[in-house]
Amino acid sequence: MFEIFGIPSAALFGQLLIGLINGSFYALLSLGLAVIFGMLNIINFSHGAQYMMGAFTAYLILQYSGLGYWPALIIAPIIVGFTGIIVERVFLQRLYKLDHLYGLLLTFGLALIFEGVARNYFGSAGLPYTVPESLRGGQNLGFMFLPNYRAWVIAASLVICIGTWFVIERTRLGAYLRAATENPTLVRAFGINVPRMITLTYGFGVALAAFAGVMAAPIYNVSPQMGSELIIVVFAVVVIGGMGSILGAIVTGFGLGVIEGLTKVFFPEASNTVIFVIMAIVLLVRPAGLFGRRA
Amino acid sequence: MEHVVNPLVKKPSMLRSQSETIGFVIMTAAFVIAPFLTYPLFLMQAMCFALFACAFNLLIGYVGLLSFGHALYFGWASYLSAYSAKTWGFSPELAILTGTATAAVCGLVAGSLAIRRQGIYFAMITLALAQMMFFFALQAKFTGGEDGIQAVPRGALFGLIDLRNEMAMYAVVLIIFLGGFTFIYRIIHSPFGEVLKAIRENEARAISLGYKTDRYKLVAFVLSATLAGLAGATKAIVLQLASLTDVNWPMSGEVVLMTLVGGLGTIFGPVVGAFAILVMQFKLAPIGEWVLVIQGAIFVTCVLLFRRGVIGEIANRLHIRL
């Protein structure tokens, strides 16, 4: 056991790990927000609620069909993503011609509905969801103890984030998406079904949130307010990073998670607020965000 | 030029041209009679929220800025008002002034940060800053944490009028509400207000006409925050309570809902919306968490089908301004 800046290394690395875990969720959620915003020009306020729905869907799948974590990790995002597609078809597509603010208000209303329903059926106390058998235990790295599940969460979210970046920036489908973001009318003229692409993008973004929710279920308890607490921090992350760049969203998400974790070690009182303080500083120094383009 | 009359434009009737004045008279009369018909405490609370919603509407309705963090000003004003009245023994008028001044300072700081970005980012920044101040309120000693500041003394106005008397308190709240309301009305119809509306319609054009729009937006933001603070500070004295509920994000959402239901950018809409939402919460209190679902459903309905709100819809049907 050794010390760094007077802090025992196990505590320091422990918080660093928690920071990376939180950062994984910030990155996954801000990535989803950025992808949705790029195509729909809507800030998806219900993103947090959809993350919560992912966790609850995993919980319900376990309760009613006995299917565990691994099937839930696939099934829950598909189910929640499908509800996202319905939301886009029924509600959001009516708003594209209006001010962006209406999209924010509508999805805020949806978030209230989702959270309210969850509270009615499950109460506000958290429900437990156990870590899957195959990922129990952990590794002793010498300077700290690394639980297997946490290592998996960090690795999985990195893979998903980089995979999403690759699809959008380096494939033909991604090129269509980026083109449709810039000029939907022109892309339609080339015979590409842009409205369907928008619907699927929203479904994908929502599925991403649900995927994060399933991964979060064994770490945090499954509770109705798990999303609303997180989404406001994610908004700050998005303001800091700027939504112009996918890679920017990922880097900012992980980076802020780590900073938050370190703050917990050195100045615990500020750990809740440090991301907001950073946001204020970034607004003063670089109003467009670290990776953003001036709108 | 003034005497050139376009024959195609009918001279507006008395009702049309004076609709706002008539509305104001009806509203005032209703508030004077109401305490004899229903609970004064409920009415006072509703007037505080109505003023809060009017202050919020000044930004969204007339500058086009959606602040999703107005609970910050309402809640912090409420805390400082309650704290100064209870711990420092301030008289109610000084306590309310202290709370309002707090909100003005918060508004200046938060506003100068938030106006650096437009549109959707503005909403996210105001929400994030409000959440930061929520955590401060949660951790600070003087706010009493989860308990809030309870049993705030109402005291005596100017050391003379005992506000423990419900009707005296009611009169004070009514005067504050009408004062705030009239002030907002004057802002909207002033040359300054016309510039604000120009910014709402087309900011780039306002800039090209030589207006320093950032300054106008900041002043409007501070005014809105200050008036929201006035509402919060008064509420703390009326209900003798300041708590985390006032400063948390659902409160910011609630004021958006009130304004949306009543009608964005209408003078009377926020008042009607605030009353409608409070009555709903009061009536639906027994069904618990479903209130959240119903509020969400109202949001969705308003955005999809009813964007003008109650008052906006009436004004549009009758071709009048309200």
Spatial CA neighbour of B136 closest among A119, A280, A221: A280
Domains defined for chain B, CATH in brackets:
14-318 (1.10.3470)
Confidence of residue B16 (pLDDT cuts 50, 70, 90): low
Q: What pLDDT, on the 0 to 100 scale, is given for residue A295? A: 45
Chain centroid, CA B194 distance in Å: 20
Taking CA–CA distances from B136, the nearest residue in chain A reads: A273
One-letter amino acid at A118 equals: A
pLDDT at B73 over 90: yes
Mutation target among A92, A98, A113, A234 for the B interface, most CBs of B within 10 A: A113
Taking CA–CA distances from B294, the nearest residue in chain A reads: A113
Comparing A46-55, B9-18, B107-116, B161-170, the range with the smallest average pLDDT is B9-18
**DSSP letters of B157-172?**
ETTTEETTSHHHHHHH
pTM, two decimals, is: 0.91
Q: What pLDDT, on the 0 to 100 scale, is given for residue A184? A: 87
For B209-239, the pLDDT digits (tens) are: 999 999 999 999 999 999 999 999 999 999 9
Residues in B touching A236 (Cβ below 8 Å): 124, 128, 131
Taking CA–CA distances from B293, the nearest residue in chain A reads: A113
Q: Do B293 and A284 touch (CB under 8 A)?
A: no
For B184-200, the pLDDT digits (tens) are: 999 999 999 999 999 99
Confidence of residue A271 (pLDDT cuts 50, 70, 90): confident
**Could you say which of A113, A239, A279 has the minimum Cβ distance to residue B297?**
A113
Confidence of residue B155 (pLDDT cuts 50, 70, 90): confident
Q: Do B139 and A95 touch (CB under 8 A)?
A: no
Check if B140 contacts A (Cβ < 8 Å): no
Average pLDDT over residues A85-109: 92
Angle at which helix B309-318 crosses helix B249-262, to 10 degrees, equals 20
- C-alpha A137/C-alpha A141 separation (Å) is 13
Q: Do residues B53 and B274 touch, judged by C-beta distance below 8 A?
A: yes
Q: What pLDDT, on the 0 to 100 scale, is given for residue A130? A: 86
- C-alpha A10/C-alpha A142 separation (Å) is 9
Q: Do A283 and B113 touch (CB under 8 A)?
A: yes
For A116-169, the pLDDT digits (tens) are: 999 998 888 888 898 888 888 888 877 778 889 999 999 999 999 999 999 998
Mutation target among B67, B109, B115, B131 for the A interface, most CBs of A within 10 A: B131
- Residues with Cβ < 8 Å from B241, sequence gap 6 or more? B82, B148, B149, B150, B152
Confidence of residue A47 (pLDDT cuts 50, 70, 90): very high
Q: What pLDDT, on the 0 to 100 scale, is given for residue B2? A: 46
Spatial CA neighbour of A231 closest among A27, A29, A22, A24: A29
**Could you say which of A43, A110, A288 has the minimum Cβ distance to residue B296?**
A110
Comparing A75-79, B17-21, B278-282, B296-300, the range with the smallest average pLDDT is B17-21
Q: Across the A/B interface, how many CB contacts are shorter than 8 Å?
A: 128
Angle at which helix B166-188 crosses helix B213-239, to 10 degrees, equals 170
Q: Do B289 and A120 touch (CB under 8 A)?
A: yes
pLDDT at A294 over 60: no
Chain B closest-CA separation from residue A279 CA (Å): 8
Mean pLDDT (chain A, rounded): 89
pLDDT at B20 over 70: yes
Q: What pLDDT, on the 0 to 100 scale, is given for residue B62? A: 94
Confidence of residue B1 (pLDDT cuts 50, 70, 90): very low
Q: What pLDDT, on the 0 to 100 scale, is given for residue B14? A: 62
Average pLDDT over residues B91-106: 95
pLDDT at B167 over 50: yes
β-pairing, A138-140 vs A145-147, is antiparallel
Confidence of residue A108 (pLDDT cuts 50, 70, 90): very high
Domains defined for chain A, CATH in brackets:
3-120+139-285 (1.10.3470)
Residues in A touching B297 (Cβ below 8 Å): 109, 113
**Could you say which of A102, A112, A273 has the minimum Cβ distance to residue B132?**
A273
For A226-243, the pLDDT digits (tens) are: 999 899 999 999 989 887
Q: Do A108 and B116 touch (CB under 8 A)?
A: no
Average pLDDT over residues B47-58: 97
- C-alpha B165/C-alpha B40 separation (Å) is 11
Could you give phi then psi for residue A139, rounded to 5 degrees? -110, 140
